[in-house]
Amino acid sequence: MSPMDLHFVRAGLAPDFLDYDDGWALQRTAHSEVRAGSRANTVFLLEHLPVYTAGRRTEPHERPFDGTPVINVDRGGKLTWHGPGQLVGYPVLRLPDPVLIVDYVSALEEAIIGVLSDHGLAGARIEGRSGVWIRGTGGSRDRKIAAIGIRVDHGVTMHGFSLNCSNDLAPYSQIIACGITDAGTTSISAETGRTVTPADVVGPVEARLRQSLGTLHASAAHSDPERRAESGTYNEGVLK
């Protein structure tokens, strides 16, 4: 996979929000085609209609307090929300061999951190927690601005990331988002004080993903034999 191998599909941006089940069907079809070699590596970028989704590690007490329905999915991680104003990315890619799943996740995080920097925000990683964060200062809590939950099956990725742009943050108050109780949730608009929509960032997200995933490919091509052997134990699974 090189930067030129990536095909981006804007599958539903405001006002044409995509139902979650329709997006899930897109992923499944693309996964089968990428695995068979009949489709180029594809990244779907979109906004969903409002929905809660639960990864494999979601606990019963983390589900919506008001009984709102939840779609169970086969990605890693726990419970999260998707909806208008949030940019969702579903990369369906054949990972280079060798590569560790954690390196792929790091490449997604790196792209998001780059996009945030364009808006004057210092996106950060927090050890032991996936996704991208805005660190708290002066006693304030850390705030999650982007979530990541993936699945790798037969070396091909599914699911991906969500970046809070201009979405309402109230739905997060009804759940224990990502199973985390000691941190908050935020968006680009909330942090900058100006409205920044998914349409405003989708182009930069594409450019940053080309860069970070291209670097991932180059690193895999030049990895040492020990790294190649290590990757075999990580090449299938789910992570959040």
Q: Among the residues of the chain, which ranges form H helices?
A: 20-36, 101-118, 188-192, 198-221, 225-231
Is residue 165 flagged as an active site residue? Answer: no
214 is in an annotated binding site: no
188 is in an annotated binding site: no
Could you write out the DSSP letters of every residue in 122-143?
-EEEETTEEEEEE---TTPPPE
Q: Are 87 and 158 in contact (CB under 8 A)?
A: no
77 is in an annotated binding site: yes
184 is in an annotated binding site: no
Q: What are phi and psi of 77, to 5 degrees?
A: 90, -165
81 is in an annotated binding site: yes
Catalytic site residue from 6, 178, 188, 238: 178
Q: Are 88 and 82 in contact (CB under 8 A)?
A: yes
46 is in an annotated binding site: no
- Tokens encoding 165: 């742009």
79 is in an annotated binding site: yes
133 is in an annotated binding site: no
Query: What's the chain's length in residues?
Result: 240
Q: Per the annotation, where are the binding residues for substrate? A: 75-82, 147-149, 160-162
Q: Per the annotation, where are the binding residues? A: 75-82, 147-149, 160-162
Residues annotated as part of the active site: 178
